[in-house]
Amino acid sequence: METSSKRRRIQRSSSPAYKLDDEDDSYDPYIPVAQRRQQKLAKLQSWGANAEQRAKKQQEEIDEREDVQREEELRREKARMERTLLMEAQEVHSKRAAEDSKKTETEKAEEVDAEILEAIKSRRKLASDMELAKGIHYTDSLKTSWQPPKYIRERSAEQHQKIRDKYHILVDGEDIPPPIEHFVDMKVPEPILEFLKANRIVVPTPIQLQGIPTAFSGRDIIGIAFTGSGKTLAFCLPLIMMALEEEMKLPYIRGEGPVGIILCPSRELANQTYENIVTWCSALAKDGKHPQLNTLLCIGGISMNEQSHVMSKGLHIVVATPGRLIDMLEKKRFTFNNCKYLCMDEADRMIDLGFEDDVRNIMSFFKRQRQTLLFSATMPRKIQEFAQESLIRPILVNVGRAGAANLDVLQVVEYVKQEAKMVYLLECLQKTPPPVIIFSENKNEVDDIQEYLLLKGVEAVAIHGSKSQEERQYAIKSFKSGAKDVMVASGVASKGLDFNDIQHVIIFSMPKEIEDYVHQIGRTGRSGKTGIATTFVNMNTPEQTLLDLKYLLMEAGQKVPPFLTTIDDPRAAQGGTLKGCSVCGGLGHGISNCPKLEDAKRREMASHRGADDGGGY
Ligand SMILES: Nc1ncnc2c1ncn2[C@@H]1O[C@H](COP(=O)(O)OP(=O)(O)OP(=O)(O)O)[C@@H](O)[C@H]1O
């Protein structure tokens, strides 16, 4: 039995020795040393591997746990931060809302105005594209040989200022040349002095006594003075003198010139300035001691062949409207190689709406440094600033507030119902003897008024943009000569036209922009004479325009009719200062509701639409 049991045990010994569940644990079978060593090694190795695996697994589990923990923490942190930011934003928002609620409507409007101004500021400098592209920037003014007489040079700065104060001249800029109270001290040639005297121009007007010495000194200038105050002479005389000096140095021959150019926004104004210059140049040459200076009129609607006699000689002065001038320059009919004087009349209009690109284009034809002069009766603050940045060491000469009405005009504003206007017009015409100008904003209305007056036996001519050049010229000529008593005009005739002794201006429909009103009433009360302006307003006149008008009347010390007195300024009701609009100069509104800006926007949109449509006309 024992033997069989032993055998059984021995047989089983071939099976693994370490686990014999149903056997006696005390029995240790014999295993050879080498095999045991092998087994031990294998066992150790397997233990090691398991431990490594376990450790690895444990580590993985720890890592995983840590990852989850970290993610959780991050999520919590993010949520906490989001909450803080949200709360901060809410706090800022509610703080701003609280501040806003504290702000008056005026302050809010001022903020909007500031934003609009910022946008306007981004306009490119007024310089030629060539100059801008090449980075050409002149820092010195144009050199001239002119200087004031010694006794004036020896005056102190206080003495100069005293003279300016006497004539209510405001100046701004560096090294301002002195004001000069007599033409003779400006060293104006004798024949011109005599001619001026013969035409009752004996002493310079305020804009002339500061503007002419400034321009004679070669300085860039922004000249602002009320309508009819003699700005034309202030910018033409310096050019005539410059051309005279050039011609005396070395006579100009065919193909040479011009020395300078005067740009005008309308053909009529260009024509008038041209005629003035021709008269002054002829007066100069009359004594036989001074050369004949040649002037070219360069405007649309006329044949340039008519002036071939001017083109066949050296050219000194060109008076032009932008479109025709660009055409002539592009066709190389003359060049600006020696041109060093650029003046813009009614400059705010020239560099403001519509003409800005043309002006840039014209500037790109200049080949050398130029003297730039900008003149107008209305020059809103924004345009002044823009222009100042574009000129070289400019001097601002300001007589009265830019955009203010001429104080020699008696302004009467009447409430006339639309349907009663025509009949009342006849009555109004009886106020003064002729000549009278009637303004309307609408071309059809201009024609209707003329027709009505002709029917009533009034000698009336009409002028507006849709008339042919011949019709326009005929109207102006016959009115100027006194052959016709009344001229009915759209805005075209308002800017700068100088008609003799207009007694009465009737504004049949009030223009939206107060600047236009200032120019229109300015056709009377010129060169120190007095005149009347009657303006019809009614329900159709926008309230804002009426407010501008009200303030303008108050500023000029004119009677404000009761229906205007009752119009309240919303800005006044909200408290705050009543600053004028720096875009159009109107005193009754801010920039955010400026009719001029709105008009500009409308035009821009229309031009975009035109471009989209192929831009045809
Ligand atoms: N120093 C002067 N003394 C008297 N009259 C003058 C003087 N200078 C110019 N004038 C006359 O004053 C009138 C108005 O001049 P001008 O047309 O130059 O005015 P303006 O300031 O250009 O007006 P606007 O802004 O309407 O164009 C002209 O008839 C001109 O002959």
What contacts 367, CB < 8 A, 6 or more positions away? 335, 336, 337, 338, 339
In the reported structure, the alpha carbon of residue 217 is separated from the centroid of ligand 1 by a whole-number distance in angstroms of 22
Neighbours of 561 (CB within 10 A): 16
User: Nearest Cα to 314, choosing from 338, 330, 344?
Assistant: 338
| pLDDT attached to residue 114 | 65
Instruction: Tell me the HSE value of 615 on the side-chain side, using a 13 A CA sphere.
Output: 4
- In Å, how far are 229, 344, 347 from 350, measured between CA atoms? 20, 7, 5
pLDDT of residue 617: 19
Low-confidence ranges of the chain (pLDDT < 50): 1-29, 85, 122, 610-617
Ligand 1 and 378: CB distance under 6 A: no
Q: What is the CA radius of gyration of the chain?
A: 43
Look at residue 274 and give its three-state secondary structure.
helix
What is the separation of C-alpha 84 from the centre of its chain, rounded to a whole number of angstroms? Answer: 46
Any atom of ligand 1 within 6 Å of the Cβ of 527:
yes
Burial zone of 392 (CB within 10 Å; 0-12 exposed, 13-18 middle, 19+ buried) = middle
Q: Given this model, what pLDDT does residue 66 score?
A: 72
Q: What residues pair up with 375 in beta bridges, in sequence order? A: 223, 345
Cβ contact 117:591 at 8 Å: yes
Indicate which residue's Cα is closest to atom 22 of ligand 1: 231
Q: Which atom of ligand 1 is nearest to the CA of 232?
A: 18
CA nearest neighbour of 171 among 448, 443, 420, 393: 393
What integer pLDDT is reported at residue 508 of this predicted model?
A: 97
Rounded to whole angstroms, how far apart are CA atoms 361 and 173?
Answer: 27
Return the residue whose CA atom lies nearest to atom 16 of ligand 1.
230
pLDDT at 58: 74
Of all protein residues, the one whose alpha carbon is nearest to atom 25 of ligand 1 is: 227
CA of 335 to the centre of ligand 1 (A): 31
The CB of 233 under 6 Å from ligand 1? The reply is yes
**C-alpha distances out from residue 293 to 42, 142, 146, 192, 312, Å:** 122, 22, 19, 13, 13
Q: 321, 373, 366, 311: which is closest to 344 by C-alpha?
A: 373
Protein residue closest via CA to atom 15 of ligand 1: 230
Per-residue pLDDT tens over the stretch 416-430? 999 999 999 999 999
- Whether residue 592 contacts residue 116, with contact meaning beta carbons closer than 8 Å, is answered with yes
What are the helix (H) ranges across 225-317? 231-249, 267-285, 308-311
pLDDT at residue number 317: 97
Tokens in use for 6? Answer: 């032993």
Cβ of 496 below 6 Å from ligand 1: yes
Ligand 1 pocket mutation, candidates 184, 346, 498, criterion most atoms within 8 A of CB: 498
Q: Whose CA is nearest to atom 31 of ligand 1?
A: 230
Ligand 1, atom 9, lies closest to the CA of 230
Q: Please report the pLDDT score of residue 130 as a whole number.
A: 57
Q: Of 182, 181, 160, which Cα lies nearest the Cα of 171?
A: 160
Q: Among 521, 124, 135, which Cα is nearest to 351's?
A: 124
CB of 345 closer than 6 A to ligand 1? no
- Tracing tokens 């020699």 back to the chain, one arrives at 408
Count CB atoms within 10 A of the CB of residue 219. 26
Q: Tell me the CA–centroid distance for residue 266 and ligand 1, in Å.
A: 18
For a substitution probing ligand 1, which of 181, 201, 524 has the most ligand atoms within 8 Å of its CB? 201
Residue 204 Cβ inside 6 Å of ligand 1? The answer reads yes
Q: Is the CB of 585 under 6 A from ligand 1?
A: no
Determine the pLDDT at residue 174: 93
Cα–Cα distance, 415 to 420 (Å, whole number): 10
State the pLDDT at residue 491. Answer: 81
Half-sphere exposure of residue 171, counting CA atoms within 13 Å on the CB side?
A: 28
pLDDT at 402: 77
Give the atom of ligand 1 at the shortest distance from the alpha carbon of 376. 25
Q: Give the nearest ligand 1 atom to 496 CA.
A: 27
Q: Which amino acid is at 27?
A: Y
349 lines ligand 1 (CB under 6 A): no
Within 10 Å of residue 533's Cβ, how many Cβ atoms? 26
